């Protein structure tokens, strides 16, 4: 007999900010089956404006470091200035300690 575990729901809402469609698909493909509601933006400035206007809410933000208009660190700083109760994770292939330190200082 095959036992299939029911899909969990309401684990939280995750905002993904990344201009790489393939990475968006990988992240959504990992979290959505685990019951997370996924919201995806390719443009950090649009995501920021929607957060600022309260059109968008989320529990966690996963943002790429390198984005077309502003960096993930700049985005993190702007979101933190809004005073939102949200955890932010900056994702990157950059292995420099300085980048990690800047991300943490920004609030990630």
By CB neighbour count within 10 A (0-12 exposed, 13-18 middle, 19+ buried), where does 62 fall? Answer: buried
Instruction: Round to the nearest angstrom and report the end-to-end CA distance of the chain.
Output: 45
Using only the alpha carbons of the chain, give its radius of gyration. Answer: 15
Cα separation of 8 and 25, whole Å? 19
pTM recorded for the entire structure: 0.82
Residue partners of 17: CB distance under 8 A and separation at least 6: 41, 42, 43, 44, 47, 61, 62, 63, 64, 67, 72, 75
What is the per-residue pLDDT across 10-55, written as a single tens digit (0 to 9) for each?
789 999 999 999 999 999 999 999 999 999 999 999 999 999 999 9
Provide the residue ranges of all domains of the chain, joining segments of one domain with +: 13-106
| Res 21: pLDDT | 94
| Res 97: pLDDT | 67
What is the per-residue pLDDT across 63-86, written as a single tens digit (0 to 9) for each?
998 899 999 999 999 999 999 999
Tell whether domain 13-106 is in CATH 3.40.50.2300: yes
Q: Write down the mean pLDDT value for the chain.
A: 86
| Res 101: pLDDT | 72
């Amino acid at each position: 007999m095959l036992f299939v575990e029911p899909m969990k729901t309401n684990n939280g809402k995750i905002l993904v900010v990344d201009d790489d469609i393939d990475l968006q698909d990988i992240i959504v493909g990992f979290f959505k089956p685990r019951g997370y509601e996924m919201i995806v933006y390719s443009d950090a400035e649009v995501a920021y404006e929607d957060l600022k206007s309260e059109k968008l809410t989320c529990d966690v933000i996963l943002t790429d470091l390198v984005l077309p208009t502003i960096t993930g660190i700049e985005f993190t700083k702007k979101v933190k200035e809004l005073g939102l109760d949200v955890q932010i994770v900056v994702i990157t292939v950059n292995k420099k300690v300085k980048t990690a330190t800047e991300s943490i200082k920004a609030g990630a």
